[in-house]
Structure 1
Amino acid sequence: MKAVKLKEYLNQIADRLTEDSTLEDVYEQLSLLADIDESEEQVEKGEVLTQKEVEEKSKEWLK
């Protein structure tokens, strides 16, 4: 994750913190946002499978 994006995400998370928020809450939110970014990059690169492809591969995996 680029530093600019990280700072943007941390600011978004900070705006939503409450008195009961923990560092773990911040980490979970940051991790979720990083996972979403990674998924979007994979879609852009075409690194995704269709539902049918997943079903076919899962048949192989579950033998």
Structure 2
Amino acid sequence: MKQVALKKYLIQIAEKLTPESTLEDVYEQLSLLSDIDESEQQEKNGETLSQKDVQTMSREWLM
């Protein structure tokens, strides 16, 4: 994750914190945002699978 994105995400998370929020809550949100970033980058790079590819692969895994 880029430093600029990290700062942006931390600010977004901080704005939504409540007195009941824990450090674990912050980690979970940051992890989620990082995963979304990674997924979007993979999509831009064409690193995705079609539904048909997934079905074929899952049949192979289940055998």
Paired position in structure 2 for 1:62:
62
Alignment length (residue pairs):
63
Counting aligned pairs with the same residue, the percent is 67
Paired position in structure 2 for 1:39:
39
Question: 4+ residue stretches of structure 1 with deviation over 4 A?
Answer: none
Over aligned residue pairs, what C-alpha RMSD do you find?
0.4
Aligned with 1:11: secondary structure?
A: helix
Counterpart-to-counterpart distance in 2, 1:24 and 1:62: 35
Unaligned runs of 5+ in 1: none
TM-score, scaled relative to structure 2: 0.98
TM-score, scaled relative to structure 1: 0.98
Paired position in structure 2 for 1:30:
30
